[in-house]
Homo-oligomer: A and B are copies of this chain.
Amino acid sequence: MASKFLSERNLKFLLYEVYDVGSLTQYDYYKEYDDKTFDMILKATMELAEGVLWPIFQEMDKNPPALVDDQIKVHPSVRKFMEECGAGGWIGGDMPFEWGGQQLPKMMIQACIFIFAAANYSASVYPGLTSGAARLILTFGKDEMKKTYLPKMLAGKWQGTMALTEPEAGSSLSDIMTEAEPTDSDYYKMRGQKVFISAGDHDAVDNVVHLMLAKIRGAPAGVKGISLFVVPKKRIDENGQLVFNDVVTSGIFHKLGYRGSPITQLSIGDNDDCRGYLVGEPNQGLLQMFQMMNEARIEVGAGATAIASAAYYASLDYSRKRLQGRRLSTKDPTHPQVPIIEHPDVRRMLLFQRSIVEGSLALLIQCGKYADLAGVLTGEEKEKSELLLDLLTPVAKSYPSEMGLLSISAGLQCLGGSGYCDDYPLEQYYRDARIHPIHEGTTGIHGLDLLGRKVLMKGGKAYKLYLEEVYGTIGEAGKYEELQTYMQRLKESLETLKKVTAHLTEVGKKESPELFLADATLYLEFFGIICVAWQWLVQATAVVKALRNGPGGTDTNFYTGKFFAFRYFFEYELPKVEGLARRLMNSDGLIVGIKPEYFSD
């Protein structure tokens, strides 16, 4: 198996040359850091990924978690990994020193998540969820709650989860049925069923802390009645001992991929003895949970990009080594066969992958930067970063998830029949990555979020700020001869985006929500392509600057190759917006008007 799963060179290019993570160290919160310490963090992360995660990537797939006597057993290395994540500070990476965190920029967190996920996506989920759950407690919990849970969670000794979905409430969270009954004490009695809970139970930690959505008895119907609770698998009794809290693992799901991470069904309070602890105020649960969901959405985008990265390097390795056929212009069968990377169509598949992986990763680091700026800036500037992050979150989740699948499929295709067999990791990447368009909101849900909410919010303020950002990039690129054509094309695409958005906004004003949002998923795809083209132009500008300085050596190859991937995106991916725009401009209600019975036969 090839041992490369990502490009450190590219990661550093994005962090240092494009988005200048070092610029954040001017702010107090990040003043302990500089590029050197960031480098050390990347190095340590790579070491953990290569030393612990990568070697068990296939093992964890072949020996998935099993439910034995109410307890899920996972690969023994998960405990080691969680402990190392705790000891090394990864779980509390972006949390304040005060609570045992590292106060790292989100951009660096994105990079670390990407590294772990590229080495072993299933394994990366354990600390990732713990981190998100801990951050919810940090933001909304009282100090006592923080003192109880954060040290254990940040040390990797207790697992965190997000416990939202129920058998009858998946995409429709307003329909959750889990009930919280108030008591005279500081806890609620919890009763319900949760399904599809990632890392919902396992034996690599001493406890599991569910951040759970439930309804307090008598609460309003729908999302307005949802509250957030901490519901541990084991609670601490009066003697400080961990005792059973009536959360039973009633099932484990058998999945296409992503098999190293247990996805569980939980029965809560079957014996009327499950205690839940309210986080923050009642009925604010969904709003609070959105903090974790939004973070998780970006993490899903990073996970999808990471798997696509690993697939890309596996297929690149194969394409360099596998001899097959001859150049189209030298068909003489007595000549030796050439590596398949010599064939244009294989190069096309490799460039396609690289353009998706590096375009997506840029967008994710960009989102990390907005999150960081939102944390340190104030007033208008803070709001701007928040709005841009809000707007781009559905894109940063969905574009890598959807295109990552196609990218990985192209990687598998490079290997032909071998890609279909488990002697190579491609078939596993193909299975693992299929979860991403589903979890943390399906692509359809994100289409509704982008068009139905984000583009319109605050009178379209986020959308306008976004256009300004892209025009800024176009202006900068316009200074370079090498980028004229591409700058012009992105400009044209922005015109198309504006035309389509204006058209749909009009439909939204005049027609039914169904008609307005009928093609929201297509709009998300359309918006996403232009958005990633923008990120490619940002990168290309940095590349042109670097090439003009005559970087020399392997760096010349890196920058030149990157410029090819950039051109590929503009030549092969960006033109797709034309067909999409044609459809989006035609709000004829085709998919609204069809009746269910027409699907008969």
Contact = CB atoms under 8 A, between A and B. Distances in A.
Interface of A: 7-10, 165, 168-172, 174-175, 195-196, 221-223, 253-258, 316, 320, 323-329, 332-334, 337, 339, 341-348, 350-351, 354, 405, 409, 412-413, 416-417, 419-423, 427, 430-431, 434-435, 437-439, 442-444, 447-448, 452, 512-514, 517-522, 554, 557-558, 560-561, 564, 567-568, 571-572, 575-580, 582-583, 586, 588, 590-594, 596-601
Given A333-B174, A579-B578, A601-B554, A256 B427 contact: yes
Given A344-B518, A438-B413, A320 B596 contact: yes
A438 B592 CA distance: 37
Contacts of A417: 165, 170, 195-196, 253, 438-439
Contacts of A586: 571
Given A571-B586, A601-B9, A513 B333 contact: no
Contact of A172 (B324, B346, B443, B588): B324
A575 B571 contact: no
B256 A422 contact: yes
Given A255-B421, A328-B512, A350-B599, 13 more contacts: A8-B601, A9-B601, A254-B422, A256-B420, A341-B599, A342-B596, A345-B518, A346-B444, A351-B594, A413-B444, A416-B438, A568-B591, A575-B580
A68 B330 CA distance: 44
State the majority secondary structure of interface residues on A: helix
B601 A170 contact: no
Nearest to A426: B256
Given A172-B325, A601-B7, A591 B420 contact: no
A221 B334 contact: yes
A473 to B, nearest CB: 22
6 contacts: A222-B333, A255-B420, A339-B596, A344-B592, A413-B444, A579-B579
A427 B417 CA distance: 20
B514 A328 contact: yes
B316 A599 contact: yes
Contacts of A442: 413, 416
Nearest to A577: B579
A171 B576 contact: no
Contacts of A572: 522, 583
Nearest to A330: B513
**Residue picked from A7, A438, A447, most chain B C-beta under 10 Å:** A438
B345 A521 contact: yes
B324 A171 contact: yes
A452 B588 CA distance: 40
B443 A434 contact: no
A190 to B, nearest CB: 21
A347 B575 CA distance: 26
A74 to B, nearest CB: 18
Nearest to A338: B172
A329 B511 CA distance: 11
A598 B354 CA distance: 11
Nearest to A419: B438
A421 B517 CA distance: 29
Nearest to A594: B564
A571 B592 CA distance: 14
Given A256-B422, A316-B599, A517 B434 contact: no
Nearest to A452: B328
Nearest to A312: B599
A506 B557 CA distance: 33
A434 B421 contact: no
Shortest beta-carbon contacts, A-B, top 5:
A222-B333, A561-B598, A575-B579, A328-B513, A172-B325
Nearest to A8: B601
**Residue picked from A10, A439, A579, most chain B C-beta under 10 Å:** A579
Nearest to A195: B417
Nearest to A173: B325
Contact of A571 (B172, B255, B423, B583): B583
A533 B174 CA distance: 42
A65 to B, nearest CB: 14
A300 B443 CA distance: 30
A421 B596 contact: no
A90 B277 CA distance: 66
A329 B514 contact: yes
Given A256-B430, A347-B594, A600 B554 contact: yes
Nearest to A346: B444
A256 B253 CA distance: 19
B172 A517 contact: no
Contacts of A412: 434
B438 A594 contact: no
